[in-house]
Amino acid sequence: MRPYHQIPIVECGEPLVRIPLELFAVESPHPYEKLGAPYGENSPYYLRRSVIESLIQAQNYLQLLHPNWQIQIFDAYRPVAVQQFMVDYSFASEMELRGLTQAQLSPNQNQEIWEAVYQIWAVPSLDEKTPPPHSTGAAVDITLVDDRGKIVNMGSPIDELSERSHPDYYANTSHPEAQNYHAHRQLLRDIMLKAGFQRNPKEWWHFSDGDQMWAWVSNQANPANSLTARYGRLV
């Protein structure tokens, strides 16, 4: 259970629709599809209709500040089966990074790696009360692309299992390059919050609008709020 799972879900029934990819920058082919993630007939480039409208609004805010910059969509809708695939893939990758095999893992090492994985990845729960955020169609992983088509450096890649993923990791640095990383993260945050999104407290790239995390972060920011989630798990 994550803290945001305490938020009730009152599903509004809004449909999942295709993101107009021509309006955004997109990584192609999709990063998880390249790994073999089992999307089946589902597409990762779908979101709830109102979430797409908010995302377009965020890009409009961005282009007022930086003409010809774009939001790059890394990932959006993610069925629970894909969530499970990516959790398992991340565990295997982290194990390999540490020079270990499954047979060599001690119970403590096994637990340590799972804890690292779940710092970033939501549990692939099939419980309708605790859906992974991306399975609701209300969460999106994004970065920025500048007017030359170059991905803006945020100081760490999306999905990295380290403290560098925390949004304010570079907030108190005196190094000029690291200050730029923080400024880029703040720019991303500002345009998304202005469009109604909330940011995952542990991931600079993850934003949501209408799911449990969105409601929980909103309520934490303003204790007078008592928001509920309007989007639950789809598949």
Cβ contact 48:231 at 8 Å: yes
Structure tokens belonging to residue 56: 């377009």
- Residue-wise pLDDT for 99-110, tens only, equals 999 998 999 999
pLDDT of residue 43: 87
Angle, CA 4 vertex, CA 44 and CA 41 arms, to 5°? 15
Q: Which residues are catalytic?
A: 203
Rounded CA gap, 204 and 190, in Å? 12
- Residue-wise pLDDT for 155-203, tens only, equals 999 999 999 999 999 999 999 999 999 999 999 999 999 999 999 999 9
Confidence of residue 207 (pLDDT cuts 50, 70, 90): very high
Q: Please report, as a single letter, which amino acid is at residue 70.
A: Q
pLDDT of residue 135: 97
- Residue-wise pLDDT for 63-89, tens only, equals 999 999 999 999 999 999 999 999 999
Q: Does residue 13 or residue 43 have the better pLDDT?
A: 13
Specify the pTM.
Answer: 0.95
pLDDT of residue 86: 97
Instruction: Note the residue count of the chain.
Output: 235
Average pLDDT over every residue of 121-150: 97
Structure tokens belonging to residue 141: 């992983």
Domains in the chain, CATH or no CATH each: 3-221 (3.30.1380.10)
Q: pLDDT averaged over the chain?
A: 96
- Residue-wise pLDDT for 3-12, tens only, equals 999 999 999 9
Secondary structure of the chain in HEC code, one letter for each residue: CCHHHHCCECCCCCCEEECCHHHCEECCCCHHHHHCCCCCCCCCCEEEHHHHHHHHHHHHHHHHHCCCCEEEEEECCCCHHHHHHHHHHHHHHHHHHCCCCHHHCCHHHHHHHHHHHHHHCCCCCCCCCCCCHHHHCCEEEEEEECCCCCECCCCCCCCCCCHHHCCCCCCCCCCHHHHHHHHHHHHHHHHHHHCCCEECCCCCCEEECCCHHHHHHHHHHCCCCCCCECCCCCC
The answer, yes or no, to whether residue 235 has pLDDT greater than 80, is no
- Cα atoms in the 13 Å half-sphere on the side-chain side of 148: 3
Structure tokens belonging to residue 222: 């303003």
